[in-house]
Amino acid sequence: MKRVIYISQPSTGEEEWQATREPLMSGWLTQGPKVAQFEQAFAVRHGVKHALATTSCTTGLHLILAAMGIGPGDEVIVPAFTWVATANVVLYCGATPVLADVERGTYNIDPADVARRLSPRTKAVIAVHLFGLCVDMDALRRVVPGHVAIIEDAACAAGASYKGVSAGGLAAAAAFSFHPRKSITTGEGGMVTTNDSQLADTANKLRNHGAAISEEQRHKGPRPYLLAEFNLLGFNYRMTDLQGAVGVVQLAKLDRFIAERDKWAAWYIDELSSVPWLRMPIRPTDGTHAWQAFVVFVDAEGAPSPRNDIMEQLQRAGISTRPGTHAVHLLGYYRERFGLTPEDYPGARDCDACTMAIPLHNRMSADDYRYVVDTLKKIA
């Protein structure tokens, strides 16, 4: 049988299946006790005061911007190499996303370019910890004025840390993703974290249509005639208790997942450093990389064939790969709406063309890793 190694596979099974029994049997299916348990455990693990579960990282980021009151006339700086959601959420608020270039070494936002893109209208900067590597927050903070909020897009960074502080606690607020390509999953799902109690309170209301009290509070309350007061224009971004139950089980495995990924990432770096046309991702010494993905840079000059060719060769050998992510300024909607050209963001353009994620996840065997390395070396 032909060997197939997927780019990513969720590590879910019997325990997650069993965990869904309780909400299914109790009949409490929407946001309730299991979501609360997941939120508490997530806040403890990431060293933050507040954690609010959402339907995705995208809705989590939207919630943060809305809770901060960001709207028309405001600008929010986002990296040009990121999943499109990071920029889209700014448009959802009627504000303007201003792209900043990224560093080719870390794939993260370049603080020097952020400094160039600041304007009197800048209200926030979204720092994306791409593929699980935290942004150099000290360098970013040095260029961002105090009145401009820094928000973490920690979609890929559950369990990551920077200089001893967990992702999620590195800025004003953060949003995480539990999409199945992330290291822990609830199918779809997200989490907002913050140490700002007022922001948490507003985000909490906005996630439930702007209701001043939760469904659970209302159901448990003594006055059946009481409906919540709605003083804000909110959304329905509530996570279900089925997902919350799965999240509790997955979160308990997060550190083991990351430790295993880190071990194999170090091994990949060791084995593949001898391939001159492949540049390895950075494994930080002052923090933890969450290794949502292992993304290499294919040197366009030195490679035996173009990146896409190499990806096809690997595919034929049964090894799935993907581009790291995309450059937002090259996407049709952004190109047209903002009149952008590839040269506007050369770092993002090159990352778009040259990055390649190779398989790294918790369902791979030692033999699978060896096969990936051997196959890549044969191409060399």
Active site residues: 182
User: What stretch of H or E contains 172?
Assistant: none
Query: CA-CA distance, 96 to 361, in Å (whole number)?
Result: 36
81 or 277: CB nearest ligand PLP? 81
How near is the Cβ of 190 to ligand PLP at its closest, in Å? 5
28 or 361: CB nearest ligand PLP? 361
C-alpha dihedral sign at 218, 219, 221, 226: positive
Phi, psi (deg, nearest 5) at residue 300: -60, -30
Query: CA-CA distance, 348 to 245, in Å (whole number)?
Result: 38
58 or 183: CB nearest ligand PLP? 58
- Which two structure tokens, joined as six digits, stand for 37? 């348990």
Please name the amino acid found at residue 257: F
257 or 369: CB nearest ligand PLP? 257
What are the b/e assignments for 97-119, b being 16+ CB within 10 Å? bbbbbbbbebbbbbbebbeebbe
What are the b/e assignments for 65-93, b being 16+ CB within 10 Å? bbbbebeeebbbbbbbbbbebbbbbbebb
CB 52 within 8 A of CB 192: yes
106 or 375: CB nearest ligand PLP? 106
Name the site residues for ligand PLP (rule: CB under 6 A).
Answer: 56-58, 82-83, 85-86, 128, 153, 155-156, 177, 179, 190
> How many of the other CB atoms lie within 10 Å of CB of 39?
22
How near is the Cβ of 55 to ligand PLP at its closest, in Å? 8
156 or 275: CB nearest ligand PLP? 156
How near is the Cβ of 191 to ligand PLP at its closest, in Å? 10
Task: Find, among 239, 234, 154, 144, the residue nearest to 189 by Cα.
Answer: 239
- Which two structure tokens, joined as six digits, stand for 346? 């050369």
How near is the Cβ of 179 to ligand PLP at its closest, in Å? 4
